[in-house]
Amino acid sequence: MIARHVTVHGRVQGVFFRAETQRTAAGLNIGGWVRNLPDGTVEAQVEGTAENVDTMLKWLEHGPERASVTHLDIAEQTPSGATSFQVL
């Protein structure tokens, strides 16, 4: 199991980014959370198998249809054992 902390930059609020992130994470068996930040970015913690986390990070690079992601800031984290994915 691996974990990553991600900050998603671009037009990522008001475009169903959190809900679609939760749906995508559930389909990949990813644990963690996602939330909006006051500066207009979206922050997420994702954890699971290396393959599934990699797939999730690739999805976060573009997000849902109405989003316009400019870049991601990704940092390694210690897995917390999360088994579900929440919108905070």
Whether 36 is catalytic is yes
- What's the confidence (pLDDT) of residue 69? 97
Q: How far apart are the first and last CA of the chain?
A: 22
Confidence band (pLDDT; 50, 70, 90) for 79?
A: very high
- What's the confidence (pLDDT) of residue 8? 98
CA-CA distance, 55 to 88, in Å (whole number)?
22
DSSP tag of 21: H
- What's the confidence (pLDDT) of residue 83? 87
Domains in the chain: ranges and CATH:
2-79 (3.30.70.100)
Q: Tokens representing 38?
A: 């006051």
Catalytic hit among 23, 35, 36, 66: 36
Catalytic hit among 18, 23, 35, 66: 18
pLDDT in tens, 9-30: 999 999 999 999 999 999 999 9
Q: What is the pTM of this model?
A: 0.93
Q: Tokens representing 48?
A: 């699971």
Q: Tokens representing 59?
A: 């999805």
Strand duo 85-87 + 68-77: pairing = unpaired
Helix, strand, coil tally for the chain in percent (to 5): 25, 40, 35
Per the CB < 8 A criterion, the answer to whether 4 and 78 are in contact is no
- What's the confidence (pLDDT) of residue 51? 97
